[in-house]
Structure formats: structure tokens, C-alpha cells
Chains A and B, each alone.
Chain A
Amino acid sequence: MTVEVSSLKELVEQASGTSGSPDTQEYFVNMGPQHPSTHGVLRLVLKLDGERVLRCIPVLGYIHRSIEKISEHMNYMNCVHLTDRMDYLSSIMNNWAVAKAVEEAAGIEVNDRIRYIRTIFAELERIQSHQLWWGVLGMDLGAFTPFLYGIRDREVLNDVMEETIGARLTMNYVLPGGLMADIHPNFVNRVKEFIKYFRPKLDEYDDLLTNNVIIQERLRNVGVLSAQTAVQYGATGPVLRGSGVAFDLRKDHPYGVYDQVDFEVPVGTVGDSWDRYWVRVEEMRQSLRIVEQLLDNIPPGDFLVKKLNSKIKLPEGRYYSQLETARGILGVFITSDKKDEPYRLHYRSPNFNNLWCLEPMIKGDYIASLIGAMSSLDLVIPDIDR
């Protein structure tokens, strides 16, 4: 595999210099940074021939907030809250990733209660994230109704989580060494109510969108990503599993209490947008299954194993820890030099790698297919730029 390195300026010059056939002319179009279906401020430079996309070059940096650099001036407890703002739709899982890295480095063992509650909340957050994605996918394809359905059910789940955590979006619930607070006394009952409420709603989702002919026509055989390409580009999460690679950290390298629960990893076959759609809808069902199994067995114990003060110092060395968020693998790489602040803190964010799959997926296809394919990737732009 050869890698071509060329600047944007060179590409534009190449295109303007091409003669081509007199009937068609290749030209460049900027999509973004302010565009409703790029889900934020992603800029795509599209090289078009008529309506065909010849090249699709993502240009980043419009929401680069230098989170990694700020983290070098913060202690390990404070690093956690910035991860909320990276992938804001899976904030608890982001918190957990940092907490897991710090706990592994400092040699802290958390008790079973903390592991159970973290797993339950991670799965609830996964459902919440997929609900929003489902609604937005409908909106991107021109149907506004799914958005209303998705947000409606998301608010129900939001209320349940808000009762314990106190925030709606940037939750900051998982700390190194435990949790911010114990679960609310009503929590178990309300989650049970939610599961009872949401199971039939998933069938309603199927009736509304999944079995819709237009949606199937626009997603099937669009944006095909082969398993080999997906692995080469480092795609993870539903994007990788949609391409037929059954790799899920929850199954393959279990953390939390995922080794004690029974669930399946949905895997696609073709690798088109439809498979990614189906994998995510199926994941919502599996997440409900996981939560259902854990709810009744939350063991008693403390919600905080060890109250870490802000001066926690990690031994010198490099530590890497990773877990599966709603979009793929989030890795945390800490380089410590015995101080209370990290020497370097790097995040391997899932969206960054998933984004680059866009070009091999969409090459030669129509520009309208690009919108559906990009929506099936479920990108969160602040996580790409950090």
C-alpha cells in the first residue's frame, strides 16, 4: 500500500490544470465548516466530476481546543472533566477511560459495586448516544420525524441519569478511584421502567425507519467499506463491526463486569451504510440486555474506594488503557515523570480513525450518498480535533 502525501494547494492546482474531456470539468467544492449535515465544523474538500465524488479530503482544526496540552498542566483528577467535552455523547465512557488508566498505573483496585454501576451507566449512555444518532440519521436523509422520536426517548433516559448525576450532557461521573456519588435510591426502579418503555419503542423504530423502502434504498450498497480497508484505516466500533470484523473490546478484552454478562456482538456482512445502521440498532437491544442482567445484582459497598487527593503521583513510565465507547476504541496514553501532572497525555479517539474511512467508502459515488454514508459513521467533530 502506497501513501501519497500532497498538500491541498497542490491538489487544487492539479485539478485546475487538467484538460479532461470537453463535456465534463473537474472542480472543487467546500463542504463546511458551517454545514448542517457535517454535525459540527468539519470541512470536506470535495473533488467533483458532475455529481460524482472523485476525492474527499477532510480538513480538520476548526474545533481544536488543545485538550491534550491543557491536560499537561492539570493533575489527574482534573484531566477527567475535559474528556466530557471531547466525545460529549459518551462522556461517562470517556471519564472511565481516564479513570481506568490512572487506576491501572497507580495500582488501585475498585470494588464490585463500582464496576457494576460503571458498566450500567456506560451501557445506558451507549443507548442514549445511539438514540440521538438514529434521529439525526433520519434528519440527514430528509426525514424530520425520526429526530422527534429519537429525542423523545432520549429525554426519558436523560431524566433517569440526571437524578443520579445531576447533569444532562457533560456528566463527569466516573473518577479515578470510584464514582462522584452513589446511585439514587430510585435509580434501579426507574431504569426498569425505562427498559419496559423502550423495548416496544425499538420495534416502533423498525416500523418507522428500518423497514422503510426509501431508507433501505439510500443505505444499501452505499459507502461500502471492506473489512481489509477498515482494519488498515484503524476503524473501530460499529464501523469496524459493520464491515464484518467481530472485534469488540467488551468481548475480547473484558473490563468492568462485561465478562459476567451474556450478550452478543452484532456484525455486518457487506460493510455498507445499511450494515452500520443495523449494527447500531442491534447494539441498543444488546445494551438493554446487559443492563437488565446487571440491575438486580448490584452488590453493596462503597462508591469510592479511595479518596484520591489532587496530588496523586503516578510512578515513572508509560501507561496505555483503552475501552469501547459508543463510537469505537478510546485509548488513553499517559507518560508520567513522577509528578502530579502528566508529562504527556494522548487520546486515541475513535472518530479520528473512522473519519478517514470516508474517502475509500465514497470514491466514485454521488454527493447525495456522501451525506448518508457520513451519517452512518456517526462522527463527533470535537472528538476528532480534541
Chain B
Amino acid sequence: MGIVTDKLPGALEKVPGGNVLVTRFDEIINWARANSLWPLTFGTSCCAIEMLMATGGPRHDMARFGAEVARPSPRQADLLILAGTIVKRMAPRLRTLYEQMAEPRYVIATGACTISGGPFIYHSYTTVRGADEIIPVDVYVPGCPPRPEQLFHGLLTLQKMIKEGETIREPGVRRKPVISALPEGVTMEDIQGEMKELLVKENVVDVHQAVDKLKWPSGTNDGS
């Protein structure tokens, strides 16, 4: 049990008698959920090219974030990326798609159209002014259409929310929706640096240090 207790401090606690009591299990669940988001292939218009095709391509590789397994069926997906305008005729279908997805389900609204109606907000008799009138939205990614990097920032925001947010003790409790725009003074290099740092932090294990941390019982070591 040494590696588990070292790698995930606080997740497992020893209790008198030698048994292990799982106290923070939802942290592990949220970690797993956040890193394996399966999006639904749902694109209505222009944003679909940038959000689903360019991000799935070789340059902006969505597989780096564990979200490349695009599923055509809502039953198998747990992330709905709203790419493109939602019009009144599509609204009931979108609601159905959302309800067909299994819990936990997350929604990223990309592009101006799904946030507010975008360029079609005035004088349009069909556009739904914002997809959040139909389904709850977790993260908004502004742009017309947003660059693939912006979607990745939105995805990282969602992952952060999932990791901190919902617990198995309080199912269905979420944080308020956030906008994943770049705040002033923050550049893409900062985000890439942070991503790199996170990746290194989460995935690189120094073998020598890990071995040093292992506390072997004194009698089992053959050398001494």
C-alpha cells in the first residue's frame, strides 16, 4: 500500500487493526471523470469545423486531454459540446439529446450563438437566444468561432470544475457556470506553461524518490 498512500495522500487512511477506510473516494472518481470526457458528435453549424474537426486533427490533438473519443450516440457520451446556432426547431431535439445522456453529463457552449444568439440575435425569428434557455450549461467559450485553443481552455476549466465540484455525498451539486475567456494579462504561453506543469506534475514519477519514500520493515531487507 506504500505507493498508493504516497501518490494519493489523504485518499486512504490507516485505521487501527490494519484495515483501510476509504474516506475521500469521490476525489478519485472526479479525477477519473475529468480525464476521460467523451464528447457527443453534435455540431449544428460553423463551430463544428473548429470544435470537432480541427480539434480532432493532428495539430490540435484533443486526445491530449482524454476527450477524443467522440461518440455518435448520446447514451455513451458524457460531454455535450454545443457547436453552432440552436434554432427553435432544433431546441426540442437538443433537449432530448441532453436527457438521453447518462449522468454525470457536462455541457460546454462554444461560440457566440450558443451563448446569446450571436450575430443572429436581432431580427431573427428562429434563433434561440442562448442555449442555456434549454439546457444547463457548465462552461461558456466565447468567440465566433472560438479557436481550438480556446476550446481546450474551456475543457481544462471544466476538468478543474469537475475535480473540485461534485461529490458522491452531494450528487448533482455543481459550481456556477464560468466563462473560459482569457482574462487580461494572461497569454496562451501562460496556459501552455500551466498545462505542461500540470502534466508533468500528474504523470511524472521520480522512481528514486518513490523508492526512498518506501518504508520497508527493518527485518525484510536482505542486505543489512
Known: A85-B119, A88-B49, A169-B49. A35 touches B127 (CB 8 A): no
- By a CB distance below 8 angstroms, the chain B residues around A67 are 120
- By a CB distance below 8 angstroms, the chain B residues around A88 are 45-46, 49
Expressed in whole angstroms, the Cα–Cα distance for A381 and B45 within the complex equals 7
Known: A33-B90, A62-B93, A69-B125. A40 touches B45 (CB 8 A): yes
Known: A132-B53, A152-B59. A63 touches B43 (CB 8 A): no
User: Shortest Cβ distance from B56 into chain A, in angstroms?
Assistant: 7
User: Shortest Cβ distance from B133 into chain A, in angstroms?
Assistant: 16
User: Shortest Cβ distance from A305 into chain B, in angstroms?
Assistant: 27
A36 within 8 A of B: yes
- Size category of the A interface is 35 or more
Is the pair A69, B123 in contact by a Cβ cutoff of 8 Å? Answer: yes
Is the pair B120, A151 in contact by a Cβ cutoff of 8 Å? Answer: no
Is the pair A66, B125 in contact by a Cβ cutoff of 8 Å? Answer: yes
B44 within 8 A of A: yes
Expressed in whole angstroms, the Cα–Cα distance for A40 and B84 within the complex equals 10
B115 within 8 A of A: no
Who on chain B is nearest to A162 by CB?
B147
Query: 1/0 per residue B75-92: CB within 8 Å of A?
Result: 000000000110101100
B34 within 8 A of A: no
List A residues 44-87 near B (Cβ within 8 Å).
61-67, 69-70, 72-73, 81-82, 84-85
Is the pair B120, A155 in contact by a Cβ cutoff of 8 Å? Answer: no
B104 within 8 A of A: no
User: Shortest Cβ distance from A327 into chain B, in angstroms?
Assistant: 15
Is the pair B119, A82 in contact by a Cβ cutoff of 8 Å? Answer: yes
Expressed in whole angstroms, the Cα–Cα distance for A67 and B124 within the complex equals 8
List B residues 62-115 near A (Cβ within 8 Å).
72, 74, 84-85, 87, 89-90, 93, 97
B122 within 8 A of A: yes
A170 within 8 A of B: yes
Residue among B49, B85, B122, B125 with most chain A CB within 10 A: B49
- By a CB distance below 8 angstroms, the chain B residues around A33 are 90, 93
- By a CB distance below 8 angstroms, the chain B residues around A244 are none
B58 within 8 A of A: yes
B151 within 8 A of A: no
A176 within 8 A of B: no
Query: 1/0 per residue B44-56: CB within 8 Å of A?
Result: 1110111001101
- By a CB distance below 8 angstroms, the chain A residues around B159 are none
12 pairs from A and B in contact (CB 8 Å cutoff): A34-B42, A35-B72, A61-B87, A63-B44, A64-B126, A65-B87, A66-B125, A70-B123, A70-B124, A147-B57, A381-B45, A382-B46
